Structure 1
Amino acid sequence: MRYAIVTETYPPEVNGVALTVQGLENGLRARGHEVSVVRPRQASDSAGLEHELLVRGAPLPRYPGLRFGLPATRKLAAAWREAMPDAIYVATEGPLGWSALRAAKRLGIPAATGFHTRFDEYMRNYGAAFLQQTALRWMRRFHNKGAATLVPTRELAQFLESQRFDNVVRLPRAVDTMMFDPAKRDDALRESWGVGRDDLAVIYLGRIAPEKNLDLAVRAFRELQKIQPRARFVWVGDGPSREKLAQDHPDFVFCGVQRGQAVARHFASGDLFVFPSLSETFGNVTLEAMASGLPTVAFDYGAAREYLRDGVHGAAIRDGDDDGFVRACADIAGDAGKRRAMGAAARQAVAALRPEQVAADFDDVLMRLADTRRAYAPAAST
């Protein structure tokens, strides 16, 4: 089969959407399919690979280093006429994503979309809560132009269906347990953080930005520090809030953006993962932390709702219970035996998840769309 994936973010950009999309691409390729990728040209690109179609882009406001694709309907339609995909996956809702849906409709190619980002929640986090419903209507209009909207959790599927999103399909996620493994623990790395063998390293990994609810993470750490005075808070990632956090908290350890095996070493070298975000569609880092043997404290939605058992693998806190989040962090931080037991149980809970199964499920969705292609008559040219 011949598939096309359209995305406005892609490695070496580091974020959950980029890495998820690359994983889906690699999974389809490993299953023997021909896969082309449409994405904005990045600063590091001299020329695209043979299977890539690069389009013009522009910087994404408030997200340094990321770009969005500019409209490219004619370019996509021309490329796809020459090498017609059997089905298309549109991963992002920016101008490039809209162009892809328009081109697919003109050519009669079935397209699935991926719901990766809660832009409606971002409106609240960036001081524009009055735009939440507008953002949700905009996303519904976008996704309902496709033949299926892929989501990672049952919870999100139910929410979107309640908001009149059509043809919502759950595509579960997985984690590479060969990469994310407690065996990657690195005492030399811990020492560079100022953490001894028996000291506590609290890890946050992700974008350092307002939508991640980071004030709560800081509050929780300061509280657990009363029990573990030698604890260090290690931040892996970057974002617009990093500079102020570093100024306000000079004892915090900032490691910057890490990739590949380095990410796995950082996770495995920690002792407790705190993830206070309330704006994720899934939260891949939750699975990565669990696979690395870290007890995890997160709110009870997304990946935590699907895989994290409260009191067994860490703590799954109900939405709005900030005090409960803080208490859980302090409780787990203060009991080394509990941390070890929870970390081992967390690893075991995700040990059976296989990226290969995700690829097979994704392939099945696209193949079923391709099989119904005759139902998609080309629209008249405009």
Structure 2
Amino acid sequence: MTETFPPDINGVSTTLGCLVAGLRDRGHRVVVTCPRAGTPRDLCEGDEVSGVALPFYREVRFGLPRRRAFLAEWREDPPDVVHIATEGPLGASALAAARALDLPVTTSLHTNFHAYARAYRLGWFARPVMGYLRRFHNRAANTFIPTAKQAAELEASGFERLMVLGRGVDTDLFSPARRDSGLRASWGASDETPVLLHVGRLAAEKNLDLLARAWSRAHASDPDARLVVVGDGPERARLERQVPGAVFAGALRGEALARYYASADAFLFPSVTETFGIVVLEAMASGLDCLAFDYAAGRQLIEPDVNGLLAPFGDSDTFLEQVPELLAARSRDRRERARDTGLRYGWTAVVDGFERNLIDVAERGQDGVPSRERWA
């Protein structure tokens, strides 16, 4: 159950698409329930249900609840385990139906909702959101989260039965070998021109004002530098006004996205609201020198001055101070080590861990009772 799935372009969709494909490759039957998209969901092979777009962010849709439908479907053909990837109305109805039928349930916590609430000036909403998330996920046998640090923080807030499940990257797709001098020329960049790249949703929670300030610092340091922005969202028009002269490519996926990564020189990632930040891993696998904050993917993947650069979490001044170094160094050594780091994070090990946990939950049941005894 998920509110987002390929061809949606975001980290949650990417992760779920890879997990589902990996499980199917291993012979498992996987049924995906998600809201209808504007384009066909080729990987879905399940139910596409009605959804409602957020009024302030049309690209994000919530699936409508369908508890009765789940109850009818699962009584007739009970799944071994129900996995719920998002906590919206669709996921809540799936959780209620699964618990009513005593089916094993696992969940994932992909999105830093309380941080998003602050980004949208709804800080007062953060506490009730965390309360809802805690109640939701504590009803599952396990909840998957991407880093050990996040596990410690959530445990301190009362979350239970957390399982760390890292993120992976397609190292054949995201590779320095896809560098394209013709694409760089279309950006007005020669082989010697430094090109900075940003990839992500262009939304309030992504700290885009800092991206604009970082570009101003870079341009002052080297007027020949270029900035390329991949992604779309409600803040795009405002960001375009803040960074005149930058290349805005819109949302990209697949080989087109991989060419953009590989054809840049360095990656700027100013977000402070990620649970992981899979774009950092994609950038490193593509051989880019990355500048990020010291948390989530940045903390897990980047060793400062070895395979990238880090600023203390939330320290915008230090982040900006490192932009000229990122621009001037264009370090071949750091980029090669970034690629080496990316090569250690293929999807196979991630899918293996996910599969093992789902099998374990299916065998022992939601509360430690084997499934065959519950359904006897």
* TM-score bucket of the superposed structures, by smaller chain: over 0.9
Identity %: 42
| 1:112–1:333 CA distance, 2 compared to 1 (3 A) | same
> How far is 1:316 from its partner?
1.6
- 8 Å contact from structure 1 (residues 109, 376) kept in 2: no
| 1:172–1:222 CA distance, 2 compared to 1 (3 A) | same
Partner of 1:3: none
Normalising by structure 1, report the TM-score.
Answer: 0.93
Partner of 2:6: 11
- 8 Å contact from structure 1 (residues 113, 146) kept in 2: yes
> How far is 1:352 from its partner?
2.1
Letter in 2 for 1:35: V
Segments of 4+ in structure 1 off by > 3 A?
47-51, 374-378
SS at match of 1:179: coil
| 1:92–1:58 CA distance, 2 compared to 1 (3 A) | same
> How far is 1:48 from its partner?
8.7
1:352 aligns with 2:344: yes
CA distance in 1, matches of 2:58, 2:225: 31
> How far is 1:250 from its partner?
2.4
SS at match of 1:303: helix
Matches within 5 A, 1:41-56: 41-45=36-40, 51-56=45-50
1:38 aligns with 2:33: yes
> How far is 1:63 from its partner?
2.2
1:28 aligns with 2:13: no
Normalising by structure 2, report the TM-score.
Answer: 0.95
| 1:179–1:266 CA distance, 2 compared to 1 (3 A) | same
Partner of 1:368: 360
> How far is 1:129 from its partner?
1.3
- 8 Å contact from structure 1 (residues 144, 166) kept in 2: yes
Q: Deviations over 1:290-329 (max 9, x none)?
A: 0000010001111111111111111121113111101112
Q: Which runs of 5+ in 1 are unaligned?
A: 1-5
CA distance in 1, matches of 2:81, 2:263: 42
SS at match of 1:250: coil
Q: Deviations over 1:203-262 (max 9, x none)?
A: 000001111111111111211222211111100000111111213332111000001111
- 8 Å contact from structure 1 (residues 108, 376) kept in 2: no
Letter in 2 for 1:325: F
CA distance in 2, matches of 1:314, 1:154: 21
- 8 Å contact from structure 2 (residues 293, 312) kept in 1: yes
- 8 Å contact from structure 2 (residues 86, 109) kept in 1: yes
Q: Let me know the Cα RMSD of the aligned residues.
A: 1.7
Q: Which residue, 208, 228, 231 being the options, matches 1:234?
A: 228
Partner of 1:197: 191
Partner of 1:266: 260
- 8 Å contact from structure 1 (residues 220, 330) kept in 2: no
Partner of 1:135: 129
> How far is 1:88 from its partner?
1.3
Partner of 2:58: 64
Q: Which runs of 5+ in 2 are unaligned?
A: 372-376
Letter in 1 for 2:17: Q
- 8 Å contact from structure 2 (residues 173, 258) kept in 1: yes
Partner of 1:80: 74
- 8 Å contact from structure 1 (residues 11, 19) kept in 2: yes
- 8 Å contact from structure 2 (residues 208, 239) kept in 1: no
Partner of 2:374: none
> How far is 1:367 from its partner?
0.6
Matches within 5 A, 1:200-239: 200-239=194-233
Q: How many residues align?
A: 370
1:181 aligns with 2:175: yes
CA distance in 2, matches of 1:249, 1:152: 32
Partner of 2:334: 342
SS at match of 2:30: strand
- 8 Å contact from structure 2 (residues 147, 276) kept in 1: yes
